[in-house]
Amino acid sequence: MAELLDDAAVSARLAGLNGWTREGGEIRRTVRAPSFMAGIGLVGAVAGAAEDADHHPDIDIRWRTVTFALSTHSAGGLTAKDFDLAGRIDAMAAEHGA
Q: Rule CB under 6 A: which residues touch ligand H2B?
A: 54-56, 70-74
Shorter beta-carbon distance to ligand H2B: residue 38 or 45: 45
Give Cα separations from 22 to 19, 39, 41, 72 (angstroms): 10, 23, 25, 13
**Between 67 and 97, whose beta carbon lies closer to ligand H2B?**
67
CB 60 to ligand H2B: min, Å: 14
Provide the residue type at 82 as one letter: D
Q: Is 89 exposed, middle or buried (0-12, 13-18, 19+ CB in 10 A)?
A: buried
Around Cβ 93, how many Cβ atoms within 10 Å?
Answer: 22
CB of 23 to ligand H2B, least distance (A): 14
Q: Which is nearer to ligand H2B, 5 or 70 (CB)?
A: 70
Q: How far is the CB of 70 from ligand H2B (least distance, A)?
A: 6
3-class DSSP assignment, residue 17: coil
Closer to ligand H2B by CB, 34 or 48: give it: 48
